[in-house]
Amino acid sequence: MNNSKNILNYMFGKGAIDNLYLILNDKKSENEYVIYYIDEYFGNSELVKQLPIKKEDELFFVQTKDEPKTQFINKFRDLLVERNKNNPKAIVSIGGGATLDTGKAVANLLTNDGDAEDYQGWDLVKNPGIYKIGIPTISGTGAEGSRTCVMTNVKSGLKLGMNSDFTIYNQLILDPDLTKSVPREQYFYTGMDTYLHCIESLNGEFRNAIGDAYSRQAIELCREVFLSDDMMSDANREKLMIASYFGGCAIANSFVGVIHPFSAGLSVVLDTHHCIGNCITMNAMEEFYPKEFKEFNEMAKKQGIEISKGIAANLDDETYLKLYNSTVIHEKPLSNALGDSFKEQLTLEKVTEIFKRM
Ligand code: NAD
Ligand code: ZN
């Protein structure tokens, strides 16, 4: 039976990030220096100028053009070891899912031998990671609340996180002011990650009352946000931040379904980013999720968001085979959605047809 862990501390509200220095001051530790991972978008921003960064701290900007790779996580660890900064008081991550996952992965790697690749899987991390603070600047993936950090091992093609209680943030600062600057399209795609995750869970076979409760509430908040006139109003950015956090808690207690495996196929074979990949996939999911397909399109229309079409319409046989393999490899979610004999339904021909429809 699961002995579930939640986030112990979180601070929520406009301007909450101003309290970062208090949290860091209160934290007792052997060393005083802090490591920051910050989304490259904030490179020269006021936000960075206002952070309580000290001379001895290390600041890294995280690129988001590519999603996290195990080799970059190892590299970040190596840099800290070289600079003798491998036992910080805290790791602070400020950004979207990619940056939040980077901070989590490095925190685990600094206290565990070996490389990031060695911990892709379930409960492989042996020692608690460095104390870490997560500060999301875009809402939807739930990376701030979840017990994983998604990374791709380019050599093996494996896209899998370090699923572990040690991957959960020790402290969150949820400040809805930080999501004001997100471009509208990106806000929609990433916000939809929590909606899609939760509808997949609720339509699945392996369920429990806790996962269901988090999912239902997250979906309700998404409806309020995306069916309203302005999805990015102050009140809606607050709601979406909470929907994302609940979605992250739901991930720890449930499984996804058909959408995420197809989206993972797009990501591994065509390098499509996670959240837009989910939205593109959803456009081909009417037969699996008819009610939600309709609602998803209503939300996109209401917000004036066009989801691009035709990404996998005209590919060669070899690429369709790759897409097929990187989709059906996700046995747990697919059997959650379609039963253990899902491969009888998802033949190469069928999977190809679905990709062509996207
Ligand atoms: P992201 O981190 O990929 O960033 C998306 C874009 O938004 C980037 O261009 C970034 O610079 C920009 N951005 C972020 N905040 C901004 C702001 N305030 N203003 C302007 N621009 C801003 O975004 P994401 O969609 O949150 O994350 C996707 C990643 O999350 C993927 O790597 C995926 O694998 C991972 N993920 C993790 C989990 C988990 O549980 N750990 C779950 C789902 C997805
Ligand atoms: Zn997702």
Nearest atom, ligand 1, residue 180 CA: 18
Q: Which residue has the tokens 């020269």?
A: 44
pLDDT of the residue at 259: 98
The size of the chain, in residues, is 358
- The reply to whether ligand 1 has any atom less than 6 angstroms from the CB of 95 is yes
d(CA 165, CA 144): 13
What is the pLDDT at residue 1? 74
Report d(CA 260, CA 285) in Å as an integer: 11
**3-state secondary structure labels for all residues of the chain:** CCCCCCCCEEEECCCHHHHHHHHHHHCCCCCCCEEEEEEHHHCCCHHHHHCCCCCCCEEEEECCCCCCEHHHHHHHHHHHHHCCCCCCCEEEEEECHHHHHHHHHHHHHCCCCCCHHHHCEECCCCCCCCCEEEEECCCCCCCCCCCCCCCEECCCCEECCEECHHHCCCEEEECHHHHCCCCHHHHHHHHHHHHHHHHHHHCCCCCCHHHHHHHHHHHHHHHHHHCCCCCCCHHHHHHHHHHHHHHHHHHHCCCCCCHHHHHHHHHHHHCCCHHHHHHHHHCCCCCCCHHHHHHHHHHHHHHCCCCCCCCCCCCCHHHHHHHHHHHHCCHHHHHHHHCCCHHHHCCHHHHHHHHHHC
Other Cβ atoms less than 10 A from the Cβ of 144: the count is 27
Whole-number Å distance, alpha carbon 179 to ligand 1 midpoint, is 11
| 343 Cα–ligand 1 center, Å | 32
Q: What is the pLDDT of residue 304?
A: 97
User: pLDDT digits over 166-217, tens only?
Assistant: 999 999 999 999 999 999 999 999 999 999 999 999 999 999 899 999 999 9
| Contact predicate 228/321, CB 8 Å | no
The protein residue with its alpha carbon nearest to ligand 1, atom 27, reads 97
**CA–CA dist 119, 166 (Å, integer):** 12
For residue 196, which ligand has an atom nearest its CA?
2
Ligand 1 contacts CB of residue 98 (under 6 A): yes
Q: Ligand nearest 197 Cα, by number?
A: 2
Cα 196 from Cα 288, distance rounded (Å): 12
Question: How far is 183 from 346, CA to CA, in rounded Å?
Answer: 36
Q: How far is the CA of 156 from the centre of ligand 1 (A)?
A: 23
Distance 57 CA to ligand 2 centre (A): 32
* Nearest-angstrom CA–CA distance, 7 and 96: 18
pTM: 0.97
* Nearest ligand 1 atom to alpha carbon 41: 11
Determine the distance separating the centroid of ligand 1 and the alpha carbon of 56, expressed in angstroms. Answer: 28
What lies within 8 Å, CB to CB, of 120 at 6+ separation is 70, 151, 153, 158, 160, 161, 162
Q: Which pLDDT value is given to residue 129?
A: 96
Ligand positioned closest to the Cα atom of 63: 1
The tokens for 300 are 């996109």
Q: How far apart (Å, rounded) are the C-alpha atoms in residues 332 and 75?
A: 31
Distance CA 54, CA 35 (A): 10
Q: Ligand 1, closest atom to CA 167?
A: 41
Lookup: tokens for 263:
């989206």
Q: How far apart are CA 145 and CA 358, in angstroms?
A: 30
Among residues 133, 232, 254, 220, which one has the least CA distance to residue 176? 232
Pocket test for ligand 1, best of 7, 17, 41, 193 (most atoms within 8 A of CB): 41
Other Cβ atoms closer than 10 A to 178: 24
Residues of the chain with pLDDT under 50: none
CA of 213 to the centre of ligand 2 (A): 18
CB of 62 sitting under 6 A from ligand 1: no
